[in-house]
């Protein structure tokens, strides 16, 4: 009897260990899957909170948006009445004593994930106080959209410098017709 009891205890222990291992593997797999979703979905979800359909460009920043915690608590995004990432509007004329620079591009120019004062476009104004920068970055844009938006809305503003920033992904984006290359709609 004793040997049978020992076998039963060992078998029960082995089953328990196997069950714990299976649960840990399932938990790890689920956690990894959720981390991938967390990295992908919030990016598009955050972008969709401040863009609207545009018949010429596909989408643009909505006007007069204030999202205080869109990326993380305390990290927000504002757009002005012109749809540019800024709390203030820009006059057609360059202010006296200023050099106006327009920044065009994708989400890196927009400053996805950082506060309004931490975009590279805005940081330029702290490097040289003579600069007035206009952030025309847009999440998910290809080079074609960035240029067309600049041509349509940026050329209406006097400026001395235009910086068109791009990444490798902006080239394939010129071949898709949906937001950020996805099939989802507005």
The pLDDT score that the predictor gives to residue 176 is 76
The pLDDT score that the predictor gives to residue 70 is 87
Average pLDDT rounded to a whole number, residues 93-97: 97
Given a cut of 50, whether residue 41 has pLDDT beyond it is no
Average pLDDT rounded to a whole number, residues 85-111: 96
Residues 35 and 63 in one domain: no
Given a cut of 90, whether residue 122 has pLDDT beyond it is yes
Q: How many CB atoms lie within 10 A of CB 182?
A: 10
Q: What is the pTM of this model?
A: 0.72
CA–CA separation, 50 and 41 (whole Å): 15
The pLDDT score that the predictor gives to residue 82 is 97
Give domain status of residue 186, yes or no. Answer: no
Q: What total number of domains does the chain contain?
A: 2
The domain of 138 spans 52-181
Given a cut of 80, whether residue 47 has pLDDT beyond it is no
Among 17, 32, 48, the domain-final residue is 48
Given a cut of 50, whether residue 185 has pLDDT beyond it is no
Percent of the chain residues topping a pLDDT of 90:
56
Beta bridge partners of 51: 61
Residues 99 and 69 in one domain: yes
Residues 34 and 67 in one domain: no
Nearest to 141 by CA among 114, 116, 108: 108
Give domain status of residue 35, yes or no. Answer: yes
Which of 30-34, 76-80, 102-106 is predicted with the least confidence, judged by mean pLDDT?
30-34
| 31 backbone dihedrals φ, ψ, rounded to 5° | -65, -40
Strands in the chain per DSSP E: 51-54, 58-61, 66-72, 75-78, 99-105, 131-137, 161-164
CA separation, residue 96 to residues 74, 93, 132 (Å): 34, 9, 11
Average pLDDT over the chain, rounded to an integer: 83
Average pLDDT rounded to a whole number, residues 164-176: 85
Residues 37 and 85 in one domain: no
Give domain status of residue 108, yes or no. Answer: yes
Given a cut of 90, whether residue 158 has pLDDT beyond it is yes
């Amino acid at each position: 009897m004793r040997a049978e009891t020992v076998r039963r205890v060992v078998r029960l222990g082995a089953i328990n260990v196997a069950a714990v291992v299976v649960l840990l593997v399932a938990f790890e797999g689920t956690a990894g899957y959720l981390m991938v979703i967390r990295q992908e979905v919030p990016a598009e979800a955050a972008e969709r909170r401040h863009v609207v359909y545009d018949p010429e460009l596909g989408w643009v920043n909505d006007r007069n948006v204030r999202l205080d915690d869109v990326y993380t608590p305390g990290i927000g995004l504002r757009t002005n009445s012109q749809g540019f990432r800024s709390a203030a509007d820009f006059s057609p004329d360059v202010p006296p004593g200023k050099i106006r620079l327009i920044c065009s591009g994708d989400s890196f120019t927009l400053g996805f994930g950082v506060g309004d004062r931490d975009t590279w476009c805005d940081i330029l104004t702290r490097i040289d106080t003579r600069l007035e920068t206009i952030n025309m970055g847009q999440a998910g844009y290809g080079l074609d959209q960035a240029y067309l938006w600049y041509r349509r809305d940026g050329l209406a503003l006097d400026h001395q410098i235009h910086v068109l920033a791009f990444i490798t992904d902006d080239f394939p984006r010129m071949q898709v017709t949906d937001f950020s290359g996805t099939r989802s709609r507005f």
